[in-house]
Amino acid sequence: MCLAGTQEEVRAHVEEEGLPRLSRRKLLLGGAAIGAAVLSRPAVSLAGAPQGPRRLRDLTHVFRAGFPMYTGDAPARETLVSIPVNGFYAQRWTFGEHSGTHMDGPGHFTLGGRLSPDITPEELFVPACVIDISDRAAVDPDVVVTVDDLRRFERRHGRIPRGAGVFMHSGWESRVNDPAAYRNLGPDGLFHFPGFGIEAVEWLLERRDIRCIGVDTLSLDNGPSQTFDVHITLLGADRYGLENLANLNRIPARGTEAAVGLIPWEEGSGGPCRVIARW
């Protein structure tokens, strides 16, 4: 049996091209070949985009008791009921909004800035660009993403798209299971870990109209910052930041879409979220 419309498609092609008419046998064989070709193609969506296998990568750390914090108490949990005793299992958690992999919303640093429920669904999907500074971070824990890093990225991978999420990969997540090493408090009383430089953030806002930035450390600003210029500038521009991201070295530098699963916490200045990359 031929696929519906196969004979008509072949016949129309013959007539259009002025080719010799085919016998029924040749027509059937030709139709079978066309059918095989159609079935061998990747599935196509209604929008016309090929729908082949997609890859996913979780960019989120497990939300756990004792996760390192920039300030405040680490998350804690207790078992409320158990299956052997109560027939079902549930916990109670206590944690600050800025625990684990989380968002800093505009209202975190900006008086009157938008809060968690104000972030629109459209803003939670971003084309991701990963800026790798891990080589420098291995030598200098206070290193920041610079404009030169961004230009170097674009020379290799193309222009950072409008509405992008620009993520810093410093390799710092390798320390996450050691809170002291992750915070890296120095004898000067300051933290020491990588972050974004203010010039890079201003460049991204003014020239690329990005939607957010993200880091694999405790703060958008690098550890020793006392003025939080990156927070103030980025959130003041009504954008958001993501902190404590994971697995940035396991996704492509470009060509990935990140989905930010933020709960619309009531009056939230941000909050824990799950970030998933797909490509």
Give 272's contacts (C-beta < 8 A, 6+ positions apart).
63, 95, 97, 99, 100, 101, 102, 263
Q: Which two tokens stand for residue 171?
A: 């390799």
| CA distances in angstroms from 271 to 24, 47, 100, 234, 259, listed in the order given | 67, 34, 9, 17, 15
- Structural element, H or E, at residue 159: none
Compute the distance between CA of residue 237 and CA of residue 83 in angstroms, rounded to an integer.
48
DSSP labels, 214-236: EESSS-SB-TT-SS-HHHHHHHH
Q: Which two tokens stand for residue 196?
A: 């974004």
Catalytic residue among 61, 98, 102, 108: 108
Compute the distance between CA of residue 214 and CA of residue 220 in angstroms, rounded to an integer.
7
Query: What's the chain's Rg over C-alpha atoms?
Result: 26
Q: 108 catalytic, yes or no? A: yes
3-class state of residue 274 by DSSP: strand
CA 261, distance to chain mean position in Å, is 10
Cβ neighbour number for residue 171 with a 10 Å cutoff: 18
Compute the distance between CA of residue 157 and CA of residue 70 in angstroms, rounded to an integer.
33
Q: Catalytic residue numbers?
A: 108
